[in-house]
Amino acid sequence: MPAKKGSLTVTFPHQAYNAAGAKELPWRSGRLCLEDGNASLERLGSSPEPMGQISRLLWLTRRAIRWLELAASDGLRQNGDPFELPALPTNASPLVAFDESSQSFAQWNEAGATSGYCRFEQAPSKSKVLVVSAFENERHEVIAHFSWGSWLEDRGKEVADGIWIRLSRPLYQQPWEIPGSWKDLSVACADQGVSLLEVLRKLVGRLRDHGNSKQGWAQRLLLLGFPVPREIGGTAERLHWLAVHLPRLAAGDDFSNGFRKNEMGYWATDRRNLSGSKRVRWLETACWSGEELEGRGRSSMELRSASVVIIGAGALGSCLAELLVRQGNRSLLIIDQEKLEAGNLVRHVLTLEDIGIAKAPALADHLNTVSPHCRIHGVESSLVSLSEEERSALSSAEVVIDCTGSDSVLRFLSELRGDKEHLMFSLSLGAYGRRIYCFFARGLTFPWDEFASAIRSWLQSPSEVVAPGDLHRGLGCWHPALPVRLDAVWMAAVVGLRCLETDLQKPSAYPHLSVFDQTPDSDGFPFLRRLAGPEGAGDG
């Protein structure tokens, strides 16, 4: 940390924002970034960073000396290094989320506009989150509209407008510092040929609250956008937006002396607040595009882009649906006629808050909170009672997944002729959850006879017979439940997802059954074996 006396007072690359910090401390807040890039991976990485006290102190000291040498020669940012944004002085609430990608970047370049108005919606989250829903030019014409998922569409609240300005390159002062005052911000914009005050003068009138009530934080936001690359020296790939909380704008009787009660009088007051030494209140922003949010792990494009129907929102169906959504599937139709009971919770993804609610809609609501781009729809119905629209969605889906373990459901699917050929996948568990059955077929209907013939011999094996005393029954007329633990259900969901992904990438023209066994070994440790597959595969 730089000392308060005789040390660095500005912010460089690979350094936290270098403010004065707490009065009682002799150092500033600008912590140097000295750790190795792989240090966060710990044992999985190849970091040379030592962890012993003395060896680590010596290592960091040498790194600090090298950092200072590079800072003095403008060598902290090298071509090919990952691009980093200048550090913000604060991360004040709310978080402002936006959806920018390589596709939207191309649209921005075609639009040509460099300033205008933006609209925000307040997300239904426990913390304050604002989501950018649209950008307009100065004539109030929409030039970019973001179609967020059901999470925001159903429960979001449009709160207010803001102002946006698009710059040609990242916003900073030398050496790599975000502007701290409104005067500094104006100078940094002017370096890119943009007059901040002139743009604001034209646009702030729309944001004034002439009712003299206090404006909320959502009503006074300024977005500053610029293109960013993945690597230093690389080609820009998308826009990034920084958010600023504008000072309270003049309105009502709050206008400068010597001016009339009009926009000119209001602007005379605003200008003083927007051009002096008053500190800029920066807000935390985040890109919530699919490219960014799914970057840590997602399914293949064939699976992510497929239209999927899941029949059965029980334990297995809920786990498989959760995997699909968290790995990139944004649109699912889930069909189930049952309601959630307390006894389901030991192996279901839903919670006590959902007791007594239909499983399919409740599961859809849960999954819509997993990603801001999801549009998951749940239908409380049997297959026989589906509406015309729902039956059409089922028959036209690219992938139909059965997770019910019900022969009657599969017989119904064998009689339901689809609009086009689709992949039909039946995923089920055997007794005690030891066996996993994955049946695949392509066609207009489900091939019931082929399925029954393929699975019959497996279900008749001694290992698939449940002892009567092992069935769980509650008081009264509860139907018996198989003694299958949640870890076995999740294993089946994982295996099913992998098989489904493989079949979509390397489709087979013929119906086939894959059987997996997850029986524990002699030490009680579970392992997975494939007992049968499309090529007659054995152990492996």
Position 431 confidence tier, pLDDT thresholds 50, 70, 90:
confident
CB hemisphere CA count around 405 (13 angstroms): 18
Identify which has the larger pLDDT, 161 or 218. 161
Q: What angle do CA 18, 23, 25 make, to 5 degrees?
A: 75
Render pLDDT for 263-275 as a digit per residue (tens, 0 to 9).
888 888 889 889 8
What's residue 217's pLDDT? Answer: 43
Give yes or no for a contact between 158 and 119, defined as CB atoms under 8 angstroms apart: yes
Q: Which amino acid is at 162?
A: G
Lowest mean pLDDT among 22-36, 202-216, 226-240, 398-412: 202-216
Q: What are phi and psi of 410, to 5 degrees?
A: -70, -35
293-311: pLDDT as tens digits: 988 889 999 999 999 999 9
pLDDT at residue 45, as a whole number: 52
The pLDDT score that the predictor gives to residue 491 is 94
Inform me whether the pLDDT recorded for 529 exceeds 90.
Answer: no
Alpha carbons 68 and 76: distance in angstroms, whole number: 9
Q: What is the arithmetic mean of pLDDT over 34-48?
A: 61
d(CA 306, CA 115): 38
Q: What pLDDT is stored for residue 38 in this prediction?
A: 57
The Cα 314–Cα 405 span in angstroms is 10
> pLDDT for 388-429, tens place per residue?
999 999 989 999 999 999 999 999 999 988 778 889 999 999
User: What does the pLDDT read at residue 216?
Assistant: 47
Section 300-329 average pLDDT: 96
Q: CB neighbours of 106 closer than 8 A, spacing ≥ 6?
A: none
Mean local confidence (pLDDT), 518-537: 76
Spatial strand order of the sheet with 375-380 comes to 375-380, 331-336, 308-311, 399-402, 422-429, 435-443, 512-517, 529-532
> Given this model, what pLDDT does residue 467 score?
62
| Res 539: pLDDT | 42
Predicted pLDDT of residue 214: 44
SS3 at position 424: strand
Q: How confident is the model at residue 479 (pLDDT cuts 50, 70, 90)?
A: very low
Q: What is the pLDDT of residues 86-140, one digit of tens each?
A: 999 876 789 999 999 999 999 998 888 999 999 999 999 888 999 999 999 999 9
> Is pLDDT at 470 greater than 70 in this prediction?
no
Which of 480, 90, 67, 416 is closest to 285 using CA atoms?
90
Give the mean model confidence (pLDDT) for residues 307-336: 96
> In angstroms, how far is CA 293 from the centroid of its own chain?
4
Is pLDDT above 90 for 66? Answer: yes
- For residue 109, what are its two tokens? 């370049």
Assess whether pLDDT exceeds 50 at residue 156.
Answer: yes
Helix (H) / strand (E) element for 483: namely none
Buried b (16+ CB within 10 A) or exposed e, 179-206: bbebbbbbebbeeeebebbebbbebbee
pLDDT in tens, 168-210: 999 999 999 999 999 999 999 999 999 999 999 999 988 887 6
Question: What residues pair up with 231 in beta bridges, in sequence order?
Answer: 82
Backbone angles phi, psi at 171, to 5 degrees: -90, 115
The mean pLDDT of 236-254, rounded to a whole number, is 90
pTM: 0.87
3 — pLDDT class (breaks 50, 70, 90): very high
Type of residue at 2? P
Give 296 or 224, the one with higher predicted confidence. Answer: 224
Torsion of CA 39, 43, 49, 53, to 10 degrees: 110
Burial 225-239 (b: 16+ CB within 10 A, else e): bbbbeeeeeeebbbb
In one letter, which amino acid is 466?
Answer: V
Contacts of 325 (CB under 8 A, 6+ apart): 332, 367, 370, 371, 374, 376
Residue 474 has pLDDT above 60, yes or no: no
Say what the pLDDT of residue 302 is. Answer: 93
Q: Give yes or no for residue 212 having a pLDDT over 50.
A: no
Closest C-alpha to 271, from 183, 375, 395, 369: 183
Q: SS3 of 529, please?
A: strand
CB-based burial label for 391 (10 Å; 0-12, 13-18, 19+)? middle
Q: Closest by alpha carbon to 149, among 309, 299, 371?
A: 371
Percent helix, percent strand, percent coil in the chain, to nearest 5: 35, 25, 45
- Determine which helix (DSSP H) or strand (DSSP E) holds 493, and give its type and residue range: helix 486-505
400: nearest Cα among 428, 437, 425: 425
Residues 6+ apart with CB under 8 A from 101: 238, 289, 290, 291
